[in-house]
Amino acid sequence: MRTHPRLTSDASLADFVVDVANVVRERTLGGDRGADLGRFLALLDGLVAFTGDATTQVYAVCDRSLLSDGRLTREERQTLAEWHRAGLLSVWDVADHRIIEAAEATRAQVVTYDGFVDFHRRHPWLYGNRDRFVEPYPGPGGAVSVRRRIMPEPDDWQMSRKEEESALLAAGMYDRRDGTGPRTALLLRRWRCPEPDCAAFGPAARGALPRRQGRTGRVVCPEHLRELTDLGPRPRQMQLKVRVDGTVRHRFLLTEGQDLVVGRHPRAEPGERLAPWLPERSPSLEWISRDHVLLRISGGNLLVSDVSSNGTWLRLPDGQTHRVPPGAFRSVGRRHVVLLHDTVQLEVSGKSFLYEERAEGEPPPRPRPETEGESQQPTMLAPSGPRPAGSRGKRPGRGGRRRR
Ligand SMILES: [Zn+2]
């Protein structure tokens, strides 16, 4: 079964929702054919360049007509069909609804040229939106780049916008700040489809975004349109990113109730091995212990414990660093960074907000400020020897941030 490392069937892990047909059929992106899958593949590279994150994840959605588009080569149509069977391509008679649904549920950004003007009335967050949409454009040498786009503000709609917002707010259907609505709740539970081979909700599936039918309120499999069984809350998970020399190289999931050892080559099971992501002959290979840190989710918080020989530091949002005392657990906040070496750090992914507990009546948490597009210059933290005593709380250099 053909897969692609940038595609995910789990919308909750996606950084981007991509309108695949929209991109594949865009002639300005290069190629002579009216439809060319190469444009989408080039876009995936463009998204990695845009975010500076080599592990960028995409939830791909397309119209059914694309699967039989005669302007694609036979091999391209086969690739799309295989992605579809593997659950990596979400196929719809009309993809627009699903794209907006997925964007609402996950806060992922949307890659499209479409203005979704017909949807503004039901989804007021679309109106004039400035931070949730990007569009591809041709880059040098056949590459595809992306840039932010501002959604249109249809005139005839503007007049009634405030009334509409108020009505939706009253109905609990609208979060004024970013439009993430009750669909997120569907992502926080486990669902089972009666179809045994269902790629999205079968026994082997990890998780996906079901569809709630408007009229009946039933929760159904978007592929088979059969009612899903609710298997209860999904275990709380956090996604962590491994940033090496300023670039995200790897991401992994931490699940509540399953402590995880992270290190160069952990002996323990389950363990997260960092060696494959460290450059050859890098000092970090010597510095980072086989078992370096133990990670745990407890009460909705991420905890870290240092089990290494050389030490672990926590960098706070204000730039201060603190050593994690060996053997003790320290809480890792939303914008904290766990430093295993000055060039190797662990960060909580912005996607993890989905699993944050919300008290009754409390507003949803703010999403993490957009930092994905920035590569962070490593700090000057203990590059070749133990950190000198008395340096606790000293600010590492914060200059040298650059756009990639
Ligand atoms: Zn199904």
- The two beta strands, 293-298 and 271-273, are unpaired
Spatial contact of 341 and 284, defined as CB atoms under 8 Å apart: yes
Residue 315 phi/psi, 5° resolution? -105, 125
Confidence of residue 210 (pLDDT cuts 50, 70, 90): confident
153-172: b (≥16 Cβ within 10 Å) or e? ebeeeeeebeebeeebeeee
Q: What is the CATH number of domain 11-179?
A: 3.40.50.11980
Task: Using alpha carbons, select from 95, 33, 35 the residue that is nearest to residue 63.
Answer: 95
Q: Where are the domains of the chain?
A: 11-179, 188-234, 237-403
Report the range of poorest mean pLDDT among 21-35, 112-126, 358-372. Answer: 358-372
pLDDT at 341: 95
Domains 11-179 and 237-403 share a fold: no
Residue 256 alpha carbon to ligand 1 centre in Å = 27
Evaluate whether 145 touches 137 at the Cβ level (below 8 Å).
yes
CA 73 to chain centre: 31
Predicted confidence (pLDDT) at residue 394 exceeds the cutoff of 50: no
Instruction: Calculate how far, in angstroms, residue 201's C-alpha sits from the geometric centre of ligand 1.
Output: 6
Query: What pLDDT sits at residue 247?
Result: 87
Helix (H, G, I), strand (E, B) or coil at 106: helix
Quick one: the chain helix, strand, coil %, rounded to 5?
A: 25, 25, 50
Separation of CA 227 and ligand 1 centre (Å) = 9
How far apart, in whole angstroms, are the C-alpha atoms of residue 34 and residue 122? 32
Q: Mean pLDDT across the stretch 125-153?
A: 89
What does the pLDDT average to over 312-332?
93
How many angstroms is it from 63 CA to the middle of ligand 1?
A: 18
Interface confidence (ipTM) of the complex: 0.98
pLDDT score for 308: 94
Task: Tell me the pLDDT tens digit for each residue of 149-207.
Answer: 988 876 655 545 555 555 555 544 444 444 444 567 777 788 999 998 888 888 777 66
Distance 191 CA to ligand 1 centre (A): 10
Q: In the predicted model, what is the mean pLDDT of the chain?
A: 79
Centroid of ligand 1 to alpha carbon of 219 (angstroms): 11
Within 13 Å and on the Cβ side, how many CA atoms surround 372?
Answer: 25
- 3-state SS class at 166: helix
CATH no. of 237-403: 2.60.200.20
Which residue has better confidence, 284 or 200?
284
Q: What is the DSSP string of 21-81?
A: HHHHT-GGGS-SSSS-HHHHHHHHHHHHHHHTBTT--EEEEEEGGGGG-TTS-HHHHHHHH
pLDDT at 382 over 80: no
Yes or no: say if 52 and 372 are a contact pair by the CB < 8 Å rule: yes
87 CA distance to ligand 1 middle (Å): 10
